Structure 1
């Protein structure tokens, strides 16, 4: 017997939880049925239903229902008591762990009940044992994954010590990797229960490694793209960004994709390799917003009026509380248009908030209109003047 076969058998024996689960209880219960079989009602209890002695079938159903009763007792008494105790503690992690374990433990009681049921009706074959072992392993790793999810906030706290700005993104990434690792171990354990040599299976995958690598090329690119996004701190959850032709608020930065909620409320999923390799316009990281406009005055405006309007607009902007005085502020008579005398205005608001920006811009527009009206001018609109040198003789 080679070493791999020995290791495989030992592992299978360790994972064969069902064989040792009853601890001799089923045999003791079976011994209790002997007086029934030899009593004056023995002939009745020896009747078979689908090849199963009637006494064993009744007892199996009774034991299964008794386990379900224990399940309810455990859920409503034990877990409820533990939750009340946990609420008295300063931390909320114990509450979350107890809540996370509730469903896996309840399901575990069902698996145990099924084990005793099949054992008492003499139907616990190797196949049934493998199924029950699979369900128990599934329940165990379900509990581990649930506890891992319950400790998400704790992981955020740990990642915030390294990078407070990206604590959630890094925490989600690490949590995803951890869940995949735990799920992989659980899958390997289930395969081992069914007699599949996991080591040999992994080794055999090496034969198709090249094809797998080619098929997973995009997945690997997206994975490294997510690394780049986290390292560069290009985007964060909740920020307003524009990547290529996609614009919206970042909802999630995952291992493979970034999810962006557009302003039409549609959810756009972008592969991380595209996000990492395209220019990212991050609107949330600007502290100010630009106002750039031309106002056109009628050609009937005199040079003195234009100078007064220009100076009044510049004075108004420099005194406006919503305008950033640390950044560029320009007001110039810019050009002679086809139908207007154009004044160029270039400045920045003191806020990046869109609603406050719109309020500031609206106020500036109204003040400019009042300045133009005060100086006796008006706004031009596209028009043409036609000059007739002479009229034909009638």
Structure 2
């Protein structure tokens, strides 16, 4: 009987002392409490969040959809924070263990706070999108990314401070490292500043067709911190450093409002004055009567000069459409009309030629 009595006393002693002085019964209760909050976490993700997403989709405003999506992560993390906090305070820890548990609780709460702030930044981008007259969409994207990085750094610094890790020496070391990097990465910073200038000055945006004389022509697919990605018309991808757009003239072809037609019509030298006047008037009248051209911008149909083998007539006008394909179509129609006018007046187009005179003795 003494053996069983000793075993019973030992079992009760182990049960009461538990782990680091915490009663095993309290540990089991704490685990149970934490498990209950894990179940609540599943309910939040599968029921509450799904219901909020369904409600948000019924509205035409995208802000509430973005807000619900952004809050999903922190909402699922909240039960873990609460569960650990309640479970840890139910158990009776020693003084040293209690200090560690308090630090863990503070860490979890700090992570939750900065995670919330980090996620709230995304819906703010929809609010800033209303300032598209002042800020481009790409610049807003840069601002949002910079804010997220800053919030992450501040959150990491707050967590390190909780665990007694001083961030002052770390920042000083990073400062020296930054100076060394800056000296060796001047081109990187030049491209970064150039990219910011491109966005602030709204030189172009994603989807624009741009031309940099002698460098690149294509459609903008992405504007990054260091470089811009363009899709050329042969479907190849070009990555151009941003300083190229700051140091060279950039032609934004997508912003063309009136495509220009500028031709020199060459007529033979045997064309009479009356034929020249009639051809000129008929071409000008055709352009003025057609809805394909913007007469307010200007029309010019005039005999320009006497070339080596032709009389040159300048035809200059601007189309109404800002579409490249429509411009090609209007050019084709005008070319056919001019040919009909020239042939209808019994004239002919000239081509480069030379006359050779043979002198007989």
Same fold (TM over 0.5): yes
Q: 1:165 to 1:350 in 2, by over 3 A?
A: farther
Q: Structure 2 matches for 1:33-182, cutoff 5 A?
A: 66-83=36-53, 93-107=63-77, 140-157=113-130, 159-160=131-132, 164=133, 166-182=135-151
CA-CA distance at 1:74 after TM superposition: 1.6
Does structure 1 retain, via aligned residues, the 8 Å contact 2:66–2:122?
A: no
Q: Are residue 225 (structure 1) and residue 194 (structure 2) matched? A: yes
Match of 1:234 among 203, 209, 221: 203
> Counterpart of 1:351?
321
> Counterpart of 2:295?
325
1:39-79 deviation per Cα after TM superposition (whole angstroms, max 9, x unaligned): 9x99xx9xxxxxxxx99999999777655432221222333
Match of 2:282 among 312, 328, 331: 312
Counterparts of 2:154 and 2:359, CA distance in 1 = 95
| Unmatched 5+ stretches in structure 2 | 1-6, 16-23, 92-96
Counterparts of 1:361 and 1:90, CA distance in 2 = 43
Q: Structure 2 matches for 1:215-294, cutoff 5 A?
A: 215-244=184-213, 245-294=215-264
> Counterpart of 1:201?
170
Q: CA RMSD in A?
A: 4.5
* TM-score, length-scaled by structure 2: 0.71
1:75-133 deviation per Cα after TM superposition (whole angstroms, max 9, x unaligned): 2233344456667889653443222111343356568889979xx9xxx9x99999998
Q: 1:370 to 1:129 in 2, by over 3 A?
A: farther
1:235-294 deviation per Cα after TM superposition (whole angstroms, max 9, x unaligned): 344433223422233445454444444334455443333322221212233321211122
Q: 1:374 to 1:132 in 2, by over 3 A?
A: farther
Match of 1:335 among 306, 309, 328: 306
* TM-score, length-scaled by structure 1: 0.66
Counterparts of 2:29 and 2:129, CA distance in 1 = 51
Counterparts of 2:127 and 2:117, CA distance in 1 = 15
Q: 1:380 to 1:165 in 2, by over 3 A?
A: farther
Secondary structure at the residue paired with 2:135?
Answer: helix
CA-CA distance at 1:370 after TM superposition: 0.9
1:184-224 deviation per Cα after TM superposition (whole angstroms, max 9, x unaligned): 21232344355431112112334445313313433432343
Q: Which moved more, 1:210-219 or 1:77-86?
A: 77-86
Does structure 1 retain, via aligned residues, the 8 Å contact 2:265–2:314?
A: yes
